[in-house]
Structure 1
Amino acid sequence: MAWGSRIVRPFRSATGALLAALAVAVALTVIDVLIAVQVRTGPSMDSGRAENATRGIAGLFSVVHESEESRHTLAASSGTAPVPEEYADRALAVAADLTHDTDALGLDSEGTALHSALATWVVNPAAGIQPLLTTADRLTSALDARKDQARQEAETARNTLFALHCVFITVLLLSLGGLVWTVWRRIIRPLADLEAHLGSTAAEPPAPPSGRGGHGWLGGVWGEAERTLLLLRQSRHHATQADRALRTDAATSLGLRRILTAQHAPGPDVDAHGELMAAEGVIAGDFFDTLTLSDGTTALVQGDVAGHGVEAGLLAVQTKSAVLSALRLSRDPQSAAAAAWSMLATEDERFTTLVIAVLDPCRGTLRWLNAGHEIARLRRADGTVEDLAPTGPVIGPFIAVPDGTWSVATTTLSPGDLVVLATDGLTEARGADGVMLGEQTVTGLIRALGPDPREAVRRLHLAVQRHGADWERDDTTVLAATLVVPAAPRPEDGPAP
């Protein structure tokens, strides 16, 4: 114990205790500054790169859209036309900057895939921009995940910084207490003992305390105690408020999910059913609905806002409301697509696919508008599967004027035919080997379905869960509908009116 006494001996004096407290304070301050610098330069840098990359995707599609318009104009006058060199150079330059940001974020495979899809489009524009849209959606999802990770890292660093502040304050208070204890032990208590000893020696009662010296010190300690109690009360109040906020957020999230998955009753002679599996919690970027139009036809609506989580869910709610309102007022899918564009026109980094299918049992027709939606199929009663091909590009801020951008196609529809709409979470579910479910497999699954929409939705979701080792990486929504064959009247009922 001799070595322990030699270590502790310098701190028995008031000067030694004060120097020790200052040394500890300086050390904690240096650590505090280093962590604060890390908070500002670490996650924020990754988040900034992710934001730049997201804006780069939007800029890339703006150039692609301008190029497609220019190319179609040239093609109208001179036949097939390649991508204009001006737009090709601009698109490749934007892709190069985007690849630089994705490489810095560790998303080199996604960035390379987008660059390769762009290069393929530049060489062979007739193949369309669907592969480019698919790789862009995959990169956008990865960037959203990286933003979430950066936010989590920043939150962890802030919590660490807050904990260090608490330790800093605690150590300072303990150092102050040690200093006060040293002063009391070596000065105040010996003086009090001396006063008592002198009083007992003189056989006279000791003089009342003068109130000097220790009164101010005790007042300071009491002030620190009151301050700590106030901080505890404030912390308890903040914890209560946080608990109330969590409950409010939970109720809000459930309300948003109900809006996204709300399904109105279909029109006469139509049976429809849809379900949504969210990638994060209960909020998704997918939305769907069925709507009876004023002429008795039934409209199927499905969309997929880029990304997932709360931000994509809020934008999906706005887009769905705009689409349904436009259909109720005009019954025109093109007006509904323009209404969806109005919700996304001010967005910098979000776009959506959209498909609207109108089933008319009286005329036996199916009309559809497909704005870049991947899975829109019509399974005939004989088992053949037809693609409800895109009739226009995805909806986003890169579209300057919505008028005339999307068209409506028409085909026949008979009882027993099944319309199947699904978001890309169905085809992009990856197995343990990294292989996606894919469009061909999904088409085969649809070919094997029956005419029951509920059974069709259940079997497709079950196929995703069985195949996908990471099927929760993206929102998956399936909506199916068919015509209902009216029951033949019984003889006693007489002829049908």
Structure 2
Amino acid sequence: MTVEEAPTGELPEAVFDPARLAAVADSGLLDTEPEGTFDDLAQLALAITGAQMAYFTVVDGRRSFWKSAIGVDPAAGHESDIRDSPCHILIGTGQELIAPDATTDLRIKDLAAVDALGIGAMAGYPVVSPDGHVLGGLCVIDKDARPFTPQQSEALRILARSVSSEIALRQALREAQAAGDASAALARTLQESLLPPRLPKAPGLDVAAVHLPADATGAIGAEVVGDFYDLFQTRGKRWSAVMGDVCGKGIDAVKVTSLARYTVRAEANQHKNPATVLHRLHEALVDQHVSERFLTAAIAVFEPDADGITGLYASAGHPPALVRRVDGTVEELNADGILLSPLIPADRDDFDETAFHLRPGDALLLYSDGITDARDKNRGPLFGGDRLARALAATHGADAADTLDRLWQEASAHSGGHAVDDTAMMILRVAPSCNRPTFESAEDSAEAVPATTKSCLGR
């Protein structure tokens, strides 16, 4: 059914406003792949409310396109008839729609979506274009009737504004590029400033890291993303390795990334436990509130010993680190911890720690979800954690740089060269026992130069 054929009497006139439809087209979001930025915001909506489903839709004159759908059965497809979707109500009123009991709410109880999705309760918030037109909505759904607290409602309003801000930023950057200015070059320079220009030489370790940009349809060349990593020495022989992923792109992502990177460096010098460092970072996000963006992060704090390195690992909602043993076995390092958000009060019990020990030939991989979320343009299966683990096992015996190169080749082959999200990876490999350096000084330094290095044939 075309827009002209749609039954205008059954829908608000605002749905067919030419200016609104032009704003929907200008958003560049219709019929595009899922993206980590919007999926992360939907995930946070679920974490805040405890609901089972969350989605962000873009609505034209005939359909509601699900740009992000978390917890929704894939069999439901990627769009629905606009008449079946509560989002046309958001467009008509420009106001949020809160229905504690969808089956008795006169506004939505007869909509096909209530039965199709099993909606018991819902909360929907308008997502708007830079000029104020309602493009669609950010909605959460619970299978049971239930109220939404004032705190949850306010958090959802903020998340809907974050979606609107992300759309506005992308359009502004596209316009800047079209104008032929230096936005892309400036963005690249700023991105580089958020990552270490080179990793330091950690005693006894072979280390490598990589950051790879997304190439999703509609992606902006002149945008700064929030993936970051760092490796640095703290007190004595102790070292810290950090991997983080800030939701979204642009200036807000820069603010959070900068705060995270330098807060972690400062706190890691004061506290030897990674869980404490994550707690202090969470407090900084809440106290300074530089942005409403959230992030996930993982920290490994370690020091060399007589047989490799020993350390503690902590995570804030981040994908689990992987350990590749010298025999090719791969293990997960799991540590429970909530994601870091200024919308969630910090609690000292929010983060657990896991001890680990790496012997000569073992390696620790930290990564962002860009690699596990890799899939082709037809929305095929994700590369996923299991494929990543198998690919890592297959790199048995490879050095750090070669390992990362082979992991990316595997993910790229799976996705047909398509990267829907940015990817960061860092690997720390303990040098094989016949290739471990000894140092002239008892004080190991990031700049120490090996006095002797034995050859390790056959590796």
TM-score (norm 2): 0.58
Greater percentage in helix: 1
C-alpha distance in structure 1 between counterparts of 2:388 and 2:64, whole Å: 28
Deviation at 1:45, TM superposition (A): 11
Q: Deviations over 1:173-195 (max 9, x none)?
A: xxxxxxxxxxxxxxxxxxxxxxx
1:445 pairs, out of 391, 395, 404, with 391
> 1:290 is paired with a residue of what secondary structure?
strand
- What is the count of residue pairs matched by the alignment? 321
> Which one of the candidate residues 405, 427, 430 is aligned to 1:480?
427
Counterpart of 1:260 in 2: which secondary structure? coil
1: CA distance, partners of 2:23 / 2:268:
44
Match of 1:284 among 204, 225, 229: 225
Q: Which has the higher strand share?
A: 2
Task: Please point out which of 164, 186, 206 is paired with 1:271.
Answer: 206
Gaps of 5+ in 2: 1-16, 31-36, 75-116, 119-140, 144-158, 215-219, 440-450, 453-459
Q: Identity rate of aligned residues, in percent?
A: 23
CA distance in 1 between counterparts of 2:271 and 2:353 reads: 14
Q: Is the 8 A contact 1:306 1:312 kept in 2?
A: yes
Matched with 1:467 is: 414
Aligned-partner SS, 1:315: helix
Q: Deviations over 1:26-74 (max 9, x none)?
A: xxxxxxxxxxx85578528998x9999997764542233xxxxxxxxxx
Aligned counterpart, 1:321: 262
For residue 435 of structure 1, the aligned residue among 374, 381, 384 is: 381
Equivalent residues of 1:260, 1:316 under 8 A apart: no
Q: Is the 8 A contact 2:366 2:425 kept in 1?
A: yes
Alignment match, 1:227:
none
Relative distance call for 1:264 and 1:154 in structure 2 (3 A) is: closer
2 CA distance for matches of 1:149 and 1:469?
28
Is the counterpart of residue 147 in structure 1 residue 167 in structure 2?
yes
* Contact 1:59–1:398 (8 Å) recurs in 2: no
1:261 touches 1:276 (CA, 8 Å); kept in 2?
no
Structure 2 residue 272 is the aligned partner of structure 1 residue 331: yes
- SS at 1:300 equivalent: strand
| Residue matched to 2:57 | 102
- CA RMSD across the alignment: 4.4
Q: 1:390 to 1:103 in 2, by over 3 A?
A: farther
Paired letter, 1:350: R
- Which is further off, 248-257 or 435-444? 248-257
Label 1:52 to 1:361 Cα distance change in 2 as closer, same or farther (>3 A).
Answer: closer
Please state how far the C-alpha of 1:473 moved relative to its aligned partner. 2.1
Secondary structure of 2:167's counterpart equals: helix
Per mean C-alpha deviation after superposition, the further-off stretch among 332-341 and 386-395 is 332-341
Alignment of 1:340-355 (within 5 A): 340-345=281-286, 346=289, 349-355=292-298
Report the residue type matching 1:361 in the other structure. Answer: P
Instruction: Give the CA deviation at 1:265.
Output: 1.0
Match of 2:302 in 1: 359
Tell me, yes or no, if structure 1 residue 395 matches structure 2 residue 340: yes
Query: Which string of whole-angstrom CA distances, capped at 9 and with x for unpartnered residues, describes residues 4-25 of structure 1?
Result: xxxxxxxxxxxxxxxxxxxxxx
Stretch deviating more after TM superposition (378-387 or 429-438): 429-438
Query: Please, which of 113, 122, 132 is the counterpart of residue 70 of structure 2?
Result: 113
Separation in structure 2 between the aligned mates of residue 108 and residue 115 of structure 1, nearest angstrom: 13
Which of 195, 201, 225 is equivalent to 1:260? 195
How do residues 69-218 of structure 1 correspond to structure 2 at under 5 angstroms? 91=51, 95=53, 99=55, 102=57, 104=59, 108-109=65-66, 111-115=68-72, 147=167, 151=171
Contact 2:412/2:418 (8 A) holds in 1: yes
Q: For residue 312 of structure 2, give the secondary structure of its aligned residue in structure 1.
A: strand
- Runs (4 or more) in structure 1 with deviation over 6 Å come to 44-47, 49-56
TM-score, reference length from structure 1: 0.54
- The residue number in structure 1 matching 2:244 is 303
Contact 1:308–1:475 under 8 Å retained in 2? no
Query: 2-side partners of 1:53 and 1:481: how far apart?
Result: 30
In 2, the alpha carbon distance for the partners of 1:53 and 1:303 equals: 17
Q: Is the 8 A contact 2:58 2:67 kept in 1?
A: no
